[in-house]
Structure 1
């Protein structure tokens, strides 16, 4: 802004958005002062750098407003976890499915974890079957981000909410 601009020549754009042209920095600064405004470098990497004649305070306020609006429209996705065992009963399984449905409807990812205890780890096929059944219950709401895989004594699958139809 103003004297902090280091380029010798700049492309000047006035406060209405019309291009004035390429000129020495001093001439651009004097044009800005005549209008009672600031000369602000908006594209420093261009050749020559682009500077606008505008009210710097107002410009800063508008940039902050745009950033705030972008942040407001940003969708934050959390990862919720559902844990079960290979020996889960049908009712408990349905409770976990309902919990996952609620998470997916809130646009959160769901990490499904099956904990193997003792010698259960030798029956990984039961875990894969359980994961398939779990996904079959949620197929209309979710898609698989990462397929079931074994990490240590846990089998993990990650589901993401299906995009709005």
Structure 2
């Protein structure tokens, strides 16, 4: 159903196909008769398919329908998780302790449900040894293997080598 449905007197068509509150078809009726039936039942006539020939209208409590729709939208919004990409930058000649610190940061990001972009930054002539960078990224991937999957394997892009790690899905 569209965002803004026409209700009662806002409906423009002369004839409408009417569906009652229980989902039964009442057939094609003149708009006046459909409005009268809705009024007798103390409900609203809501246009649910304006593009149909003739337009389809349903007899329902529009206020309750809008309330339930907003509740469904809020519930759907709650279940959405915005995944951000956090970056961990390394150099090919990083010391072991520094590597451990960077790995702990990556683990923290993955536990929070974020993706991790691991970047090896080459400077000057270091670029002639891309294998060192690849070894470092593979070592990082092994360190976080229980928490993450390698979404994109190590790949050289300009003066940087990039690998993307995605958190493993938790079983609820």
State the TM bucket, normalised to the shorter chain: 0.7 to 0.9
Instruction: Return structure 1 stretches of 4+ with deviation > 6 angstroms.
Output: none
Q: Which residue is 2:87 aligned to?
A: 81
> What is the rounded CA distance, in whole Å, between the counterparts of 1:115 and 1:15 in structure 2?
65
| 1:118 counterpart = 2:113 | no
Moved more, 41-50 or 61-70: 41-50
- Secondary structure in 1 aligned to 2:47? strand
Corresponding residue for 1:15? 21
| Structure 1 spans left out of the alignment, 5+ residues | none
User: How large is the RMSD of aligned CA atoms in angstroms?
Assistant: 1.9
- Which segment drifts farther, 63-72 or 44-53? 44-53
Q: How does 1:1-165 map to 2 (within 5 A)?
A: 1-46=7-52, 48-165=54-171
Scaled by the length of structure 2, the TM-score of the pair is 0.84
Cα pair distance change 1:46/1:164, threshold 3 Å: farther
Report the Cα offset of residue 36 of structure 1. 2.5
Distance in 2 of aligned mates of 1:39 and 1:69: 27
After TM superposition, the structure 1 stretch with the greater mean CA deviation from structure 2, 82-91 or 139-148, is 139-148
Q: 1:18 to 1:146 in 2, by over 3 A?
A: same
Residues matched between the structures, number: 165
- Paired with 1:109 and 1:57, the residues of 2 have a C-alpha distance of 42
Gaps of 5+ in 2: 1-6
1:121-148 deviations in whole A, cap 9, x for unaligned? 1211111111111111111211111222
